[in-house]
Amino acid sequence: MYELIANSIPIAIVASIPLLLAVEGELLVQRGGIINLGIEGMMLTAAMTAAFAAQTTGSVTIGFLGGIAGAMVITAIFGVFAIALRADQIVTGTAINLLALGGTSFVYREVAAFQRPIPQLHTDIVSALSWIVAPLILGAILWNTSFGLRLRACGENPEALAATGRSVRMHRWAALMIEALLVGIGGAYLSLALSSGFAENMTAGRGFIALSIVIFGRWKIKGALLGTAIFGLAAALQYALQAANRGIPFHILLAVPYVVTLLILCGVAGRVRSPESLGRP
Amino acid sequence: MKRTLLVCVLFAVFSCQQRETAAPSAAAPAPAAKPFKAGLLTPGSINDGGWNAIAYEGLQRIKNELGAEVSNQETKTPPEMLDGFRSYGAKGFDIAFGHGFEYQEPAKQAAAEYPNTIFITSSGNTVTNNVSPMRFQIEESTYLLGVIAARESKTGKAGLVGGINLPSIDSSFVAFKAGAQSVNPKFEVKTIYTGNFDDVGAAKVATLSLINAGCDFIFHQANEAGRGVFQACTERKVRCFGSNKNQTDMAPDYVVASAVVDVPAAFVEMAKIVKEKRFKPGEQHFGFNNNIVRLEWNDKLKASISPQTIAEVDRLTNEIKAGTLKPPAGF
């Protein structure tokens, strides 16, 4: 059993990277008062544009840049409706998901470049970036800068921020673009490092799991890291258990990561309080 | 929802038009040589690059190779399927394909009304005088993949990654295991199901777990998510097999061989059987015997496989073709 766990840890660290980046991005925007339900669609779009950029140029770096660009474009669409036009965020996010799923599947079937070989990733700096650098920077931004204070004010009491003469919209746009940067890297990592290219609906619900980890992690960076780590480790461990063939039905093992994450996060942190103005346009 | 509605409306308009044009042609005197007609119903878009696209490719080959008149429709719900089959029956089609397990009931109903049309479903078990399923015996090639794995493995273990455990996937795994254990009864075959066909990350994690558990050959049945399997095998330098089509391109240095199912060729073969009046109701088997299911080597890696293994695979291939060896399918 110890060997199984020891073997699963490195796998879990790598395999949860797209999820972790999504959780971190979503945490930031929700602190600023926006529920971005379209995170699944953003990641899927990023995965596709990253694969396309990498397969046409043969460069992993350009692939990652392509993923970031793709995520930013679709996030901008979300932003125009949710921030500029003050549309309902839940509806807009859902629409973004449907648009991304249909759009990427369509493009994938029509474009021949997706059949080309994909360049291999040799040095993996993304694991360090997502598990160490990004949480430290996000923590510093949120709690130690005046931008972070104002962003949190957008999430709690936007009228107060507006009263000081600052733009709530600009702060929310900034948070959205940071999220797009993180999710773009996550999507690119999914199609370039976890897979050898794009596949339809390859995000497979990661965006929604990210949303629930943000909530169960009580909108805290520590909670986000802990939730993702538990979920990732439980997922890797249940595959190791399937491989070890202990006679446990795989249907039950497949449910383990969800149950374990739920139980642990329910027990850990104290009182739940979401940002006061979350979801209000 | 809107889209489904639109499709329904378009379909209704389309099928009405068909009936209108069908009526006068039925009244007209029959021409001397009646052309062979083949129809195809697919559950999804023929541009999907997968399941439905290969059926459409089969239909186009029937048109080109048999000089047939062909037609195809996209039908999603059972009433649409029944209408589609009826339209082909009414127009005197010789053969109508329903591309999926779900077409069995509509085929049975339409077949009772139009006894002169033969209705073929892709997989299934419904058989009447003019309804029969096609069955692709992929286990004939996965049995051989098991033989290769067991003879070439250094660790004595191979791993299988499945999406959802559907009967067709399970049967190919059962045969893989039987093939491996025919070489070495103690050979261990480990199986992991990821629960879906989309999540490439899960397929990669599953593959890495199998490699950690000592497997040095990996075979997958995860469709698109198989990309994660090939990624893991390339990263860890472990040999693997392709499924359903020749997947050598996915990992050119590690895919040793692929279990190929040539569905378009099966469609042509099926139409030929009906055209030449050789059709007998019952499961229509497609496998090694008619070259629909094949084992395709990666020529680049074939040199690294021992000559004895290759000779053994060739010998077993002939036995399967001759019918003296029947790989188990588990049902």
Cβ of A11 and B209 within 8 Å?
Answer: yes
Cβ of B249 and A115 within 8 Å?
Answer: yes
Which residue of B3, B197, B227, B253 is the best one to mutate when testing the A interface, meaning the one whose CB has the most A CBs within 10 A? B227
Confidence of residue B10 (pLDDT cuts 50, 70, 90): very low
Cβ of A245 and B251 within 8 Å?
Answer: no
Angle at which helices A221-244 and A134-144 cross, to 10°: 160
CA distance B122 to A163: 67
- Give the chain A residue whose CA is nearest to the CA of B164: A251
Q: Give me the phi and psi of B268, to 5 degrees please.
A: -65, -45
**Whole-number pLDDT of residue B155:** 96
A202 contacts on B by Cβ (under 8 Å): 198-201, 224-225
Q: Please, what is the average pLDDT of chain B?
A: 88
Q: How far is CA A34 from CA A145, A165, A274, B180, B231, in A?
A: 20, 20, 11, 55, 36
Selection from A155-159, B9-13, B184-188 with the highest mean pLDDT:
B184-188
pLDDT of residue B196 exceeding 90, the answer is no
Q: Give me the phi and psi of A12, to 5 degrees please.
A: -65, -40
> Do B133 and B120 meet the contact criterion of CB atoms below 8 Å apart?
yes
CA distance A253 to A246: 11
Cβ of B193 and A190 within 8 Å?
Answer: no
Q: Is B331 exposed, middle or buried (0-12, 13-18, 19+ CB in 10 A)?
A: exposed
The answer to whether residue B330 sits within a structural domain is: no
B74 and B95 belong to one structural domain:
yes
Task: Inform me whether the C-beta atom of residue A199 falls under 8 Å from chain B C-beta atoms.
Answer: yes
CA distance B91 to A242: 53
A102 contacts on B by Cβ (under 8 Å): none
Question: Three-class SS of residue A200?
Answer: coil
Q: Is A249 exposed, middle or buried (0-12, 13-18, 19+ CB in 10 A)?
A: exposed
Cβ of B190 and A245 within 8 Å?
Answer: yes
Number of domains in chain A: 1
Lookup: tokens for A51: 């694969």
Cβ of B209 and A109 within 8 Å?
Answer: no
pLDDT of residue B16 exceeding 70, the answer is no
Report the gap between the CA of A71 and the closest CA in chain B (Å): 19
Which residue of A202, A231, A233, A238 is the best one to mutate when testing the B interface, meaning the one whose CB has the most B CBs within 10 A? A202
> Do B128 and B119 meet the contact criterion of CB atoms below 8 Å apart?
no
Q: With a CB-CB cutoff of 8 Å, which residues 84-123 of chain A face chain B?
A: 108-110, 115, 117, 120
Residue by residue, pLDDT tens for chain A (281 residues) are: 788 888 899 999 999 999 999 999 999 999 999 999 999 999 999 999 999 999 999 999 999 999 999 999 999 999 999 999 999 999 999 999 999 999 998 898 888 888 787 888 877 899 999 999 999 999 999 999 999 999 999 999 999 998 998 999 999 999 999 999 999 999 999 999 999 889 889 999 999 999 989 988 889 999 999 999 999 999 999 999 988 877 788 888 898 888 888 787 777 655 567 888 888 87
Lookup: tokens for B246: 């020749």
Question: Three-class SS of residue B260?
Answer: strand
- Position of tokens 């040539």? B262
Report the gap between the CA of A215 and the closest CA in chain B (Å): 23
B25 and B159 belong to one structural domain:
no
For residue B261, the tally of other CB atoms under 10 A from its CB is 21
- DSSP category for residue B36: P
The answer to whether residue A232 sits within a structural domain is: no
B274 and B236 belong to one structural domain:
no
pLDDT of residue B166 exceeding 90, the answer is no
The answer to whether residue B327 sits within a structural domain is: no
Task: Inform me whether the C-beta atom of residue B166 falls under 8 Å from chain A C-beta atoms.
Answer: no
Number of domains in chain B: 2
CA distance B126 to B134: 10
Domain limits at A166?
A: 19-207
Task: Inform me whether the C-beta atom of residue B67 falls under 8 Å from chain A C-beta atoms.
Answer: no
A193 contacts on B by Cβ (under 8 Å): 231
Cβ of B205 and A120 within 8 Å?
Answer: no
Domain limits at B194?
A: 139-261+298-322
Task: Inform me whether the C-beta atom of residue B206 falls under 8 Å from chain A C-beta atoms.
Answer: yes
B247 and B154 belong to one structural domain:
yes
Q: How far is CA B226 from CA A197, B201, B245, B249, B262, in A?
A: 11, 10, 12, 13, 19
**Whole-number pLDDT of residue B262:** 92
How many contacts (CB atoms, under 8 Å) link A and B?
A: 106
CATH code of the domain in which B220 resides: 3.40.50.2300
B188 and B222 belong to one structural domain:
yes
CA distance B54 to B40: 12
Task: Inform me whether the C-beta atom of residue A204 falls under 8 Å from chain B C-beta atoms.
Answer: yes
The answer to whether residue A242 sits within a structural domain is: no
B253, B192, B198: which is closest to B227 by C-alpha? B198
- Give the chain B residue whose CA is nearest to the CA of A187: B201
Instruction: Tell me the percentage of chain B whose pLDDT exceeds 90.
Output: 70
- Give the chain B residue whose CA is nearest to the CA of A244: B213
Buried b (16+ CB within 10 A) or exposed e, B147-182: bbbbbbbeeebbbbbbbeeeeebbbbbbbbbbbbbb
Q: Is B186 exposed, middle or buried (0-12, 13-18, 19+ CB in 10 A)?
A: exposed
CA distance B284 to B125: 10
B126 and B179 belong to one structural domain:
no
- Farthest-apart Cα atoms in chain B, separation: 71
The answer to whether residue B244 sits within a structural domain is: yes
**Whole-number pLDDT of residue A271:** 59
Torsion of CA A170, A176, A180, A183, to 10 degrees: 160
B51 and B199 belong to one structural domain:
no
Cβ of B201 and A197 within 8 Å?
Answer: no
B120 and B144 belong to one structural domain:
no
Confidence of residue B187 (pLDDT cuts 50, 70, 90): very high
B199 contacts on A by Cβ (under 8 Å): 202, 204-205
Task: Inform me whether the C-beta atom of residue B155 falls under 8 Å from chain A C-beta atoms.
Answer: no
B172 and B240 belong to one structural domain:
yes
Task: Inform me whether the C-beta atom of residue A197 falls under 8 Å from chain B C-beta atoms.
Answer: yes
Cβ of B193 and A254 within 8 Å?
Answer: yes
> Do B37 and B91 meet the contact criterion of CB atoms below 8 Å apart?
yes
Confidence of residue B12 (pLDDT cuts 50, 70, 90): very low
B189 bridge partner residues = B158
CA distance B180 to B171: 14
> Do A231 and A19 meet the contact criterion of CB atoms below 8 Å apart?
yes
Reported as a single tens digit per residue, the pLDDT across B59-105 is 999 999 999 999 999 898 999 999 999 999 999 999 999 998 889 99
Question: Three-class SS of residue A209?
Answer: helix
Reported as a single tens digit per residue, the pLDDT across B35-45 is 999 999 998 87
Cβ of B198 and A242 within 8 Å?
Answer: no
For B196, which of A108, A196, A204 is closest by C-beta distance? A204
Cβ of A194 and B231 within 8 Å?
Answer: yes
B157 and B129 belong to one structural domain:
no
Confidence of residue B1 (pLDDT cuts 50, 70, 90): very low
The answer to whether residue A171 sits within a structural domain is: yes
Instruction: Tell me the percentage of chain B whose pLDDT exceeds 70.
Output: 89
B28 and B113 belong to one structural domain:
yes
The answer to whether residue A271 sits within a structural domain is: no
B160 bridge partner residues = B191, B219
Sign of CA dihedral A146, A151, A157, A163: positive
For residue B214, the tally of other CB atoms under 10 A from its CB is 16
To 5 degrees, how large is the angle CA A175–CA A181–CA A185?
A: 145
Buried b (16+ CB within 10 A) or exposed e, A140-164: ebbeeeeebebbbbbbbebeebeee
The answer to whether residue A88 sits within a structural domain is: yes
Q: With a CB-CB cutoff of 8 Å, which residues 167-196 of chain B face chain A?
A: 190-196
The answer to whether residue B117 sits within a structural domain is: yes
Reported as a single tens digit per residue, the pLDDT across B237-296 is 999 999 988 899 889 999 999 999 999 999 999 999 999 999 999 999 999 988 999 999
**Whole-number pLDDT of residue B24:** 40
The answer to whether residue A8 sits within a structural domain is: no
Q: How far is CA A229 from CA A19, A235, A259, B63, B240, in A?
A: 10, 10, 14, 56, 30
Which residue of B173, B193, B209, B253 is the best one to mutate when testing the A interface, meaning the one whose CB has the most A CBs within 10 A? B209
pLDDT of residue B25 exceeding 50, the answer is no
Which residue of B51, B165, B200, B250 is the best one to mutate when testing the A interface, meaning the one whose CB has the most A CBs within 10 A? B200
Determine the length of chain A: 281
B143 and B90 belong to one structural domain:
no
CA distance A74 to B225: 24
The answer to whether residue B144 sits within a structural domain is: yes
CA distance A46 to A186: 8
Lookup: tokens for A128: 């360090």
> In which order are the strands placed within the sheet that holds B131-136?
B69-74, B37-42, B95-98, B118-122, B131-136, B284-286
For A196, which of B49, B201, B227 is closest by C-beta distance? B227
